[in-house]
Amino acid sequence: MFFLSDSTGITAETLGNTLLTQFPGHRFERRTIPFITTVEEAARVVQAIDAVAAAGPRPIVFSTAVNRDIRAILSQSSGHFMDLFGAHIAELEDALQAPASGEPGKAHGVGDAIRYQLRMTAVEYAIEHDDGQSIRALERAELILIAPSRCGKTPTAMYLALQHGILAANFPLIEEDFARRSLPDPLRPFIHKCFGLTSLPVRLSQIRQERRPDTTYASLAQCSYELRNAEEMYESNQVPYVNSASMSVEEISATILQRMQLHH
């Protein structure tokens, strides 16, 4: 599988990989070739694809190249060429009653500078507010993720920051919170921003075992205790929550954006 682009290749990879998940029995070798911006480079890429085609099964080529000349060259390789771009752009020109610009892909460039800066600021914010490290500027947070240790708070906050520019803090729920049966004090003014994660005791114990094998911390009993208490705390404070045990950060994030109506 080749993912070809005149830009980063992210769109080609994203749609190409999505389509390939529909063929779970197959194993694919994947290669991304980004920044194909001249006809000379396009010709070299065709040579590379032809070499692969000569040596084995016919490769499939996903392309999001915008430029007509470059697309024309790329389509001539001996691979099976799938134009992920041209197929839809004519339809969209028709729907919008306007011509496409034909400029090379800018979808993953800086683009809207304000929106981009928001994302960069959010990454810093997520790092500074990782794992309850700082209670400074919590009033700026758009989201405060809470959960017992190792339920997925950190990567979820990072994903929401990087991809969506969401100012996300994350806070661990610990023994003291459970003993007092209340959320950590610094969060009390911001309960409406909180979202909880929970997991399955067996899954959580497994993850903790990898980190600190044979500790109370990783024991099934402790994990059950913490998750039960966390869920009770979410319920009693009307904090929305989701069981992250079998979910990816992308799925957890999409769920949070939808439930908290956070999409920018």
The verdict on whether residue 111 carries a ligand-binding annotation is no
Q: What SS3 state is found at 245?
A: coil
Q: Which C-beta is closer to a copy of itself: that of 138 or that of 162?
A: 162
The verdict on whether residue 78 carries a ligand-binding annotation is no
Among 39, 43, 123, 138, binds a copy of itself (CB under 8 A): 123
The verdict on whether residue 59 carries a ligand-binding annotation is no
Cα separation, 65 vs 103, in Å, equals 10
Token pair for 14: 């994203």
Q: Which C-beta is closer to a copy of itself: that of 55 or that of 96?
A: 96
Q: Which C-beta is closer to a copy of itself: that of 105 or that of 233?
A: 105
Cα separation, 135 vs 190, in Å, equals 11
Cα atoms in the Cβ-side hemisphere of radius 13 Å centred on 248: 4
Contact status: 87 vs a copy of itself (CB under 8 A): yes
Q: Which C-beta is closer to a copy of itself: that of 111 or that of 189?
A: 111
Among 116, 189, 191, 235, binds a copy of itself (CB under 8 A): 116
Q: How far is the CB of 196 from a copy of itself (least distance, A)?
A: 19
Among 37, 38, 154, 229, binds a copy of itself (CB under 8 A): 154
Among 54, 96, 114, 179, binds a copy of itself (CB under 8 A): 96
Residues within window 223-262 making contact with a copy of itself, judged by CB under 8 A? 246-251, 253-255, 257-258
- At CB < 8 A and 24+ separation, what contacts does 24-31 make? 28/1, 29/1, 30/1, 30/2, 30/3, 31/1, 31/2, 31/3
Among 6, 36, 70, 105, binds a copy of itself (CB under 8 A): 105
Contact status: 26 vs a copy of itself (CB under 8 A): yes
Contact status: 109 vs a copy of itself (CB under 8 A): yes
List CB contacts of 79: < 8 A, sequence separation 6 or more. Answer: 2, 49, 50, 52, 53, 58, 59, 60, 61
Among 47, 101, 216, 238, binds a copy of itself (CB under 8 A): 101
Give 89-149 as a DSSP string.
HHHHHHHHTS----PPP-TTSS-SHHHHHHHHHHHHHHHHTGGG---TTGGG-SEEEEEST
Contact status: 58 vs a copy of itself (CB under 8 A): yes
Q: How far is the CB of 99 from a copy of itself (least distance, A)?
A: 9
Token pair for 223: 């994990």
Q: How far is the CB of 111 from a copy of itself (least distance, A)?
A: 7
What is residue 191's DSSP assignment? G
Cα separation, 84 vs 66, in Å, equals 10
Contact status: 158 vs a copy of itself (CB under 8 A): yes
Cα separation, 91 vs 85, in Å, equals 11
Contact status: 107 vs a copy of itself (CB under 8 A): yes
